[in-house]
Structure formats: structure tokens, C-alpha cells
Structure 1
């Protein structure tokens, strides 16, 4: 089995496992105020912030899918979009189940990790109010991806997604360290494992295209 196939299988299996776990968890009694995490907890902060982080990964993946005919990159983009859209749905579902808002006005991204984000993303200059979370691409970089095609789009996507995954791993590890034991922390650990594997895969795909990460 090639690394591409292995990463794809791993991502799908993890998504199915955690979707099943989330279904079992949500089938239990409605959480009470005592069992639901606080709005400023690591559990809630991670669910909110990673949902936003995942949404950009899904968007980038759909963009590159339409900008290249390369089957390896299109397959990777599909796997990332599918996996992260499913995980995003789970995290938003948990916020609903906990009776917590999906957006926390006035709260800086990453505040739950003790390191609010200020200033530019790792993926290029620029910022927005509240700053970008680690690895997130700026609007300018997203526009570059939309304007690219063929090998140029593939290389740009792989570079942007590598940085995005590195930021995602950093955030997910924060939940592994700070979230309560349970399904959400298990999901965060699965994100760390799967995205680290995909970072290695993307390094291989960049090398095949004569490009550096």
C-alpha cells in the first residue's frame, strides 16, 4: 500500500471511529449544567476554534479539486475535505449539545490555550480582527490559490495545507493536554495522528513536483 493510500485509509477510518463514538455519546441523556463544560473551557474553545480552522481546510480542498486534474492531489483534497467536514460537524454538534454558543464575541482565538492569536497567520502576512489561528491562510493566499491552476495550484495547495496541518496539530495537541478525558480529547488525538501522517504525505507530493514545503 502506498503512503497516499495509507494516509487516505487512516483518515477515513479515524473519521468513522470518532463519528461512531460521537453518536454513542450524543445518544445519552441531555447534559446538565454540571456535566457540560464551561463556555471558557478548553473543551468549548477547542470545538469553536477547530471548527473555524477545519472550515478553511475544506474550502482550500474544494478549490484545488477544481484547479487541477492530478488524481493524487484531488484524492488527498477529497479525503481532507470529507474528514474535516465530518469532524467539524461533530464539534458543532457538541457545542449544541452543551448549550454553548458556536461564536464567542470578544474572545480571542486560542485563548483557551493561554496564547491568544494576534497578527499574521503562519501562511503569509496580514491579519483580521482577533488575528488568525496558527497555520490559517490569509485572504490574499486564498485568492492566489483560486487564481492558480495545474502544477502551480498543486504546489501552492500542498504548501498551504502543510502549514494548516501544522497549526491544526498544535491546536489538537492543546486539547489532548487540556480537554477533559472523553470523546473530544480522543478526537483531538486522532487529528494529531492523521494530520502528522498527511504532512509526511504532502512532503512526498511536493518532492515529486520538484518543490520544497
Structure 2
């Protein structure tokens, strides 16, 4: 069995304050993954050609009116963006090889998924993120904050620490983040109308459940407990 790829060295901390959002906070290789994901989505759609949803003289790609897919992609873009930010910081600052590898895995996987999700939304001419304060309306339960999201105070506390305390804070925040997003993934998997989006949601459930189990074990090894899901 081949060993997992080594996380690349980074010079940035992933939390610059220039207002560029998650794009500017990710290293160049990660932004390349996002661009590649968008290009791949567009190429796949072009290859499908005649596969359209709806009837009419102009092909219309995307979910039908009232489908949950757009809301899921918009909300999950916001959710993933914060996870990537936390993973970038942990990978750049931890001295624990196991934590560095875990952060790298989360960062690279969720950056790739971000590229796919934003590619679909742009293709459908939809906003790429939910408007603040209107999350989860597509689930019939609008919320100001999505479950599992870290607060500004959480992130400040995490970034202010070093060594084992920082690693524990990362594991606690990311584990809560994974568990909080699970209901949205399951809702899309059950009710989505676009097969590639529902398949993505199912793959998220599988990968993030496995990562959550790993993080729970890592916390126990460090004498810490998970945070309650907010």
C-alpha cells in the first residue's frame, strides 16, 4: 500500500487580513486544485452535451425549481471554507506529524470539493454562497449560524495557542464542524435532484464520518473530550 502524500511546506498562515477570503488564505497549490475542479466540472458538462433538465429550445442545466441542491451547495461552500481555513492554520503551525497529515487531508479534500460546488453554482448562474443569516432555509429550518461553525472567539482562541493545546483546539473545533454539517449532507443525499450533487453529499458523509472517528480517538489520546455540537 502506498503511503499518503506528504503535506507541502507552507510559508503563509492561512489567516491573512487583506479581505481576500478563503481564496487568498489558501496556498497556491490549493488554489490550483480549486481551479482544476472547476475546469473538470465544465468539461464534464460539455461532454454530456444533450443531457438537460427540462424542455425547451434552450438547454437548461441544473436542478428544477424548488430543489434542495442549490441551497445545499451554497451552504456547504460556507461550511467548507471555514474548515479549510482551520486546516491551513493547523498544517502550517503544528509540530505533530499526525495532526499535520490530518489537516492536509482535510484541506486538500475540501478544497477539491469547493471547486466542484462553485463550478456547478456558476454554471447554473447562482450565487456561490448563501447570504449571511439565511442558512439552511432549503431544509425548512432557516438559521443565522449553521451547526458546527466556529465563532470568531473560537478561532481567536485556536490561533493564539501552540503545541498540544493548539492541536486539541483544532481537533475539538474540526470534530464539531464535521458533526454539525452531517445533517445537511444527509438531507441532500436523501432529497437532492441532481445525481452528481447527491453523490458528492454521500461521499462527504463517508469521508467525514471516518475523519470524525479518527479525531475522536486523537482527542482521547491527548486526554481531551469532544465539544458539544452547537
Identify the TM-score tier after normalising by the shorter chain: 0.7 to 0.9
Q: After the TM superposition, which of the residue ranges 19-28 and 106-115 deviates more from structure 2?
A: 19-28
Cα-Cα RMSD: 2.6
Give distance in 2, aligned partners of 1:168 and 1:24.
Answer: 27
Counterpart selection for 1:142 from 129, 148, 155: 155
Counterpart selection for 1:167 from 180, 186, 211: 180
The aligned length equals 186
Q: Could you tell me which residue of structure 2 aligns to residue 9 of structure 1?
A: none
Give distance in 2, aligned partners of 1:181 and 1:91.
Answer: 12
Pick closer, same or farther for the CA change 1:70–1:39 going to 2, 3 Å.
farther
Query: Structure 2: which 5+ residue stretches go unaligned?
Result: 5-32, 53-57
Counterpart selection for 1:102 from 113, 116, 128: 128
Q: Could you tell me which residue of structure 2 aligns to residue 66 of structure 1?
A: 92
Pick closer, same or farther for the CA change 1:194–1:94 going to 2, 3 Å.
same
Which is helix-richer, 1 or 2?
A: 1
Query: Structure 1: which 5+ residue stretches go unaligned?
Result: 6-14, 118-130
Q: Bigger radius of gyration, 1 or 2?
A: 2
Secondary structure (helix, strand or coil) at the match of 1:66 reads helix
Q: Could you tell me which residue of structure 2 aligns to residue 180 of structure 1?
A: 193
1:83 aligns with 2:109: yes
Give CA deviations for 1:18-67 in whole Å, capped at 9, x if unaligned: x6994534533386564422575311001111011000000001111233
Secondary structure (helix, strand or coil) at the match of 1:99 reads coil
The TM-score with structure 2 as length reference comes to 0.73
Secondary structure (helix, strand or coil) at the match of 1:27 reads helix
Give distance in 2, aligned partners of 1:21 and 1:169.
Answer: 26
